[in-house]
Copies of this chain bind each other. A is one copy, B any other.
């Protein structure tokens, strides 16, 4: 279904990097969810570039909610959020209409849309659209938090530096909620930012790994085949530009273990079943088991770099050397973190609504 994702709660994205606006329609949300514009703005702020490690394009992200909210709460009908592009600057991008940028979608867009695509700044492929996804996700995050479900993502690795792993999730998720550069160890964070600056200084870029935890999720979400919790989450997460790998629990490391090491033994805690370890990331047989959900996304280095690159000019049909001069990010892993939270929240709202019905998310809760 192209630019729409989700069965019970769905999100539709529209817009282009340098068009007049981008936006999202979220449908299927229960009626009665509080919509806090300040919270949406705070999530957009986590995604927005800042300092000397972000693009010089600085969009204020002054969003409007066109529909679906009445008296501060969701109505249950489609919620459309529009974010105007105010700092669009098509001029710097004109040259890319000819030479296709390596690592970008310029060439594949040409293959799919035959030259009718909007070429300015990646058009509809631009990471700019993740602002709309982040705004949509903010409403989903609020809905989940009212049910005690918390989502947090940290930068596990960036530029060769590692953050400390998750420890006490309650504390760690509370810390991440407030932190602009999402690390648990601020020393590691400072080193990562320095690595980003060094890459930028040499006209290059870095990638990283994001690690996400979700607590408070009920057991029983997901299906045995196809619409597994892993399948749905990864389907959504791969929409985030630059994500090239997704793994759950110990992921690829599980492939090196023996069954006796990889299995999570079950135990009882005051009559409640839990697993004593969580190598499977809170999912067995595609279905949540009530333990924290844990997964990681590999984010490749930003493809827009200042260093010269070999490519092909679509206009001349010849090989050429490209030097990208627009405003670009030397890293996006720290910005992508807000988008991972957003996608996760939307997928979980979809799963919860399918399981418990259309009203559940909006229900009066503490």
Contact = CB atoms under 8 A, between A and B. Distances in A.
Tell me what chain A mostly uses at the interface: helix, strand, loop, or mixed.
mixed
B263 A103 contact: yes
Contact of A244 (B28, B250, B304): B250
Interface residues of A, number: 156
Contact of A78 (B3, B231, B355): B3
Given A16-B67, A105-B287, A225-B239, A116 B157 contact: no
Given A32-B116, A74-B116, A298-B254, A10 B2 contact: yes
A341 interface: no
B236 A226 contact: yes
B104 A284 contact: yes
A326 interface: no
B12 A27 contact: yes
A97 B318 CA distance: 55
Contacts of A220: 108, 111-112
- Oligomeric state, in copies: 4
Contacts of A237: 231
A77 B307 CA distance: 31
Given A125-B285, A209-B255, A14 B108 contact: no
Contact of A67 (B19, B31, B78, B115): B19
Nearest to A64: B20
A137 interface: no
A216 interface: no
Contacts of A64: 20
A264 interface: yes
A66 B23 contact: yes
17 contacts: A2-B27, A5-B226, A12-B12, A70-B116, A73-B116, A76-B116, A105-B285, A108-B287, A112-B220, A129-B225, A207-B256, A226-B236, A226-B239, A228-B239, A234-B246, A244-B250, A260-B307
> Closest 4 A-B residue pairs measured CB to CB?
A105-B285, A245-B247, A31-B116, A357-B357
